Structure 1
Amino acid sequence: MATNKPHVICVPIPYQGHINPMFKLAKLLHSRGVYITMVVTEFNVARLASSSTVESPFLEGFNDFSIEVIPDGLPPDNKRSVFNLHELCYSFRGIQGEPQMAIRSLLMRLLESPDIPPVTSVISDAMMTFVPQVCIELGIPVFHLYTTSACGMLGYMQFDELVKRGDFPLKDESCLTNGYLDTSIEWVPGLIKEARMKHLPTFLRTTDPNEIIFNYLAEATRNAKVTAGLILNTFDDLEGQILKEIEKVIANIYTIGPLTKLSQPVNERKLLPLSWSLWKEDNSYLEWLDKRSPKSVIYVNFGSIAVLTPEQLKEFAWGLANSKHPFLWVIRSDLVIGESNIITEDCYMEEIKDRGLILSWCLQEKVLQHPSVAVFLTHCGWNSTLESIGEGVPMICWPFFAEQQMNGLYACKEWRVGVEMEEGSVQRKEVEGLVRDVMESEKGKELKGKAMEWKKKAEEATRPGGSSYNNFDKLVRNLVGKGNHC
């Protein structure tokens, strides 16, 4: 039987880096007395259920927290990897495809159901471009969760301008190698002076004017201007100047990050013991970390979607080994393109014996919070970057794609918590040198000191009275219809 609770529907795009912040936000709302419906794609249901480490099956749900399932429109044999991202964009574009019709049917059913609280609002991942159209059609307030940094989002906001300026598409393939990507982008207001074309989201690097991901994300950014509010996983002290520029174009911005910090009190109360990891976690790392000295371990993780060539893997592997520092490295089953894997070779395993631990997946928050972890070698995905900042862990930045190049630039040049590797090619001597530099030099001490300063600011932002805490309060009021959406 329906209650008088507010009811918020959360619709993440079906990738791990987008599911995680949406679920944290859903848990926070649930802790404030909001009835939550999480929308999951059919493909991910089995993965979520099989990877869950809790006793209750994933789909049993919890009190006032329900799960709904929709198709993503892709065939069962599609791997949903980074190489299939364009296919997902094709499937999600427009309003008449299978996912679009499914979300419309779902929302109409929930609106009419007498057994659940009336739907108050929808939080849609910004990349679910069809959801706002359906919500507007049905008269449901819709808020966007943008899972990038503010500086990354500002980059996406330039896509239409790139077309107007003639910078998209690229004139020819030589633009990728002739220094064009190193040209200044001073015409973008609010960015630091070091920003170059190469730091804008990588989907512009094509000669095809119909490049699906570029056009899809341009549409997603335009949608942010017509929603009831834009939610960003960042905090005002970190990206204040960028936020001022975005606010000139988009009203009703709620900066509520770092979500890992804001949600920690909820985690401590052990609410909603659901696992939302698409990979089964290997918990052997906790005991291994406990045996290490404080601030002695390099944590290496390239996230849930980045991939390495066998040669890149080999260079990273030997660079880490030659540094002689202990390291914990997450290597997903689909991280390496092809089947060649240096990690399986006896000579390498003998070299790193007793000081290298290789896992298939882990709970990153626990690793970054562990006192033995000193440095994070990362692809600069926004979840990873902000979690590292929130825990005071400096970074070695090796951006992969999308807006990660902008995240890496800001981490190194503006926030001064990282050292930068050039994207693409990897040399073991550079890896070894950067590890030693951060672990052993005065530069490393400076990075660690700055990282701890940002950790303190992140904690202040998410405590009662802090900017993110207050913004979340305001968001809750507006989501449940008790605010004025301003």
Structure 2
Amino acid sequence: MAPPPHALVIPYPAQGHVIPLLELAHALVDRGFTVTFANSEFNHRRVVAAATESSLLDRSSRIRLVAVPDGMEPGEDRNNLVRLTLLMAEHMAPRVEDLIRRSGGDAEGYGPITCVVADYNLGMWALDVARRTGVKSAAIWPASAALLASLLSIDKLVQDNIIDPEDGSALSQGTFQLSPDMPVMQTAHLAWNCIGNQHGQAAMFRCLIASVRAVDKCDFILCNSFHGAEQATFARFPQILPVGPFLTGERKKAAVVGHFWRPEDDACMSWLDAQPARSVVYVAFGSFTMFDTRQFRELALGLELSGRPFLWVVRPDIVLGGDVHDYPDGFVDRVGGASGRGMVVAWSPQQRVLSHPSVACFVSHCGWNSTMEGVRNGLPFLAWPYFADQFVNQVYICDVWKVGLRAEADEAGVITKEHIAGRVEELMSDAGMRERVEALKKVAHESINHGGSSHRNFDMFIEAIKA
């Protein structure tokens, strides 16, 4: 009897990429595949540390986690995405190629690797390895199709004098649209222009251009989005295949889901149970966003000023150069004491929180996973982007779908407590916004149900990649 098809899935080494690609791995297993999931060594250790013992011992999952060195030294700053991306191409590619060539000879029943599903953001090296080893390939784009469209349009953006041909930097502070019905984008907010400082940007931009050239030759470009969310983009760029929204966070507890932080604080679920329906402000900024001490305190005071119960996820490293416990004087006693009006956790089971009936709105960094999870659960957003694709996602949330409001800074660059409290009140009282997000939720679920557009696209992909 022939072994089942065997996919090698390779995420870009960031939590916002590992989580959706692990969900894709589970979806492949649901369709009869076995999967080898190749994380960087650094993130492999973090995922294993955050996973439950039952998830790692669940042999029925048919997902094997493996570690590949990313080329960075112990203690190096892996938030330096330019250096990380360049080193991966040099150090990960030969190890991954060796992994493919040696596959099929183990005692666990995994046959030879038959296809590679690689994060688009890895660049050309992963797809080049697939071609050299003679296996089929697909690129997975875990963010919005509009952002991918901006990458696919680099030549046009250069031709129209919107970006510099050497490093992609903005040649003006204006806006543009790739087609009349697509989101309005700011040149300064193109993903490659807001991932850090300018050092190394030209090298990173060259990597992006090479990626576009390489991905054009792969068998599929999958996207964690759905047709109803980005209809104009999919019409303009039909090579992008929407197969989402991925059900991140909805797997059984035994599934490995890709978190870097532990433990998820299940106590917050009991706290939510005690809150009135649609009363709680949920505040979470993902795995990367950081605040200076002033903005961190202003956010705390804004949540207090809103007068609403709130659940706030405060990662251990969220305060830039400061102490995560550096709250305003008396804040913890006032909101977490006898009133119990606020709860702060280091990490939350976000999907379970967002689907809880007591949650009313989502203060978010607008990462695409969080955006899709908020949409899937019908929650309006206070949109507070930090970097990269999050600014384009904010445009979708606030201007295209009209399911959220912007968090806007004052002249000093601070989003004030008064503004935060006022925006929360607007979100809570806007019945029209609630109707729009409920309608978008319905379309999202229809797309992934049997017979929906994303479900059909994934079926088509599976049949082709199996053959």
Q: Given the two structures, how large is their TM-score scaled by the length of structure 1?
A: 0.87
1:168–1:209 contact (8 Å) kept in structure 2: no
Q: Which residue of 2 aligns with 1:140?
A: 135
Report SS of the residue matched to 1:435: helix
SS where residue 122 of structure 2 aligns? coil
Q: 1:136 to 1:175 in 2, by over 3 A?
A: closer
Aligned-partner Cα distance in 2 for 1:437–1:202: 33
3-state SS of paired residue (2:222): strand
Go from structure 1 to structure 2 and tell me whether the alpha carbon gap of 1:328 and 1:409 turns closer, same or farther (over 3 Å shift). Answer: same
Question: Contact between 1:168 and 1:204, CA under 8 Å: does it hold in 2?
Answer: no
Which residue identity does 1:437 align to in structure 2?
A: E
User: Does 2:231 align with 1:244?
Assistant: no
Residue 64 in 1 paired to residue 62 in 2?
A: yes
TM (normalized to structure 2)?
0.90
Match of 1:416 in 2: 402
Return the match for 1:279 from 261, 268, 273: 261
Helix, strand or coil at the partner of 2:298: helix
Residue 187 of structure 2 aligns with which residue?
A: 197
| 1:306 equivalent in alignment to 2:292 | no
Quote how far apart the aligned CAs of 1:333 are: 1.1
1:400-432 alpha-carbon deviations (Å, 9 max, x no partner): 111111110111111111111237632222111
Structure 2 counterpart of 1:126: 120
Decide whether the 8 Å contact of 1:327 with 1:357 is kept in 2: yes
**In 2, Cα distance between equivalents of 1:476 and 1:210:** 36
Q: How big is the shift at 1:307?
A: 1.4
The counterpart of 1:386, out of the listed 369, 372, 379, is: 372
CA distance in 2, matches of 1:131, 1:295: 45
Aligned-partner SS, 1:419: strand
Distance (whole Å) between structure 2 residues aligned to residue 215 and residue 466 of structure 1: 37
Give the 5 Å matches for 1:381-460. 381-422=367-408, 425-439=414-428, 441=429, 444-460=430-446
Alignment size in residue pairs: 456
| Amino acid of the structure 2 residue aligned with 1:28 | A
Counterpart residue identity of residue 45, structure 2: A
Deviation at 1:184, TM superposition (A): 2.8
Taking the aligned partners of 2:190 and 2:201, their CA distance within structure 1 comes to 18
Change in Cα spacing, 1:227 to 1:104, as seen in structure 2 (3 Å) is: same
- Residue 427 to residue 223, structure 1, CA distance change in 2 (3 Å): farther
Equivalent positions of 1:467-482 (< 5 A) are: 467-481=453-467
Per the TM alignment, residue 10 of structure 1 is displaced from its structure 2 partner at its CA by 0.7
Structure 2 residue aligned with 1:315 = 298
Which position in structure 1 is the counterpart of 2:94? Answer: 101
Q: Which stretch of the first structure deviates more once superposed, 60-69 or 365-374?
A: 60-69
Secondary structure of the structure 2 residue equivalent to 1:426? coil
Question: Are 1:231 and 2:219 counterparts?
Answer: no
For 2:132, give the aligned amino acid: E
CA distance in 2: counterparts of 1:340 and 1:271, whole angstroms: 32
Aligned residue type for 1:258: P
Distance 2:399 2:449 in 1: 27
Task: For structure 2, list consecutive stretches of 5 or more residues without a partner in the other structure.
Answer: none
Aligned partner of 1:260 in structure 2 is: 247
1:109-188 correspondence to structure 2 within 5 Å: 109-110=102-103, 115-129=109-123, 130-169=125-164, 180-181=172-173, 183-186=174-177, 188=178
Q: Which residue of 2 aligns with 1:297?
A: 280
Letter in 1 for 2:213: R
* Stretch of structure 1 that moved more, 151-160 or 410-419: 151-160
- 1:237 CA drift (Å): 1.2
2:27 is matched with 28
1:55 counterpart SS class: helix
Match of 2:425, SS?
Answer: helix
| CA–CA separation in structure 1 for the residues paired with 2:367 and 2:408 | 15
Asked if the contact 1:343/1:349 (under 8 Å) is kept, the reply is no
Give the share of equivalent positions with the same residue, in percent: 30
Residue 484 (structure 1) aligns with: none
Distance 1:212-1:39 versus aligned 2 partners, 3 A rule: same
SS in 2 for 1:39: strand
3-state SS of paired residue (1:142): strand
Question: How do 1:324-343 residues align onto structure 2 when only pairs under 5 Å count?
Answer: 324-341=307-324, 343=326
Please say if residues 10 and 124 of structure 1, whose CA atoms lie closer than 8 Å, have aligned partners that are also in contact: yes
Q: Which stretch shows the higher mean deviation, 2-11 or 387-396?
A: 2-11
CA distance in 2 between counterparts of 1:141 and 1:20 reads 23
Q: Displacement, 1:30?
A: 0.6
Q: CA deviation at 1:344?
A: 4.2
8 Å contact kept, 1:385–1:407: yes
Question: Residues 219-238 of structure 1: CA distance to partner in whole angstroms, max 9, x if unpaired?
Answer: 33333211100111111111
Provide closer, same or farther for how the CA distance between residues 70 and 323 of structure 1 changes in structure 2, counting only shifts above 3 A: same
Distance 1:61 1:279, change over 3 A: farther
Aligned-pair distance for 1:304? 1.0
Shift of 1:162: 3.5
Structure 1 residues not aligned, in runs of 5+: 482-486
Query: 1:192 Cα deviation (Å)?
Result: 4.0
* C-alpha distance in structure 2 between counterparts of 1:414 and 1:285, whole Å: 33
What is the identity, as a one-letter code, of the residue corresponding to 1:49? Answer: V
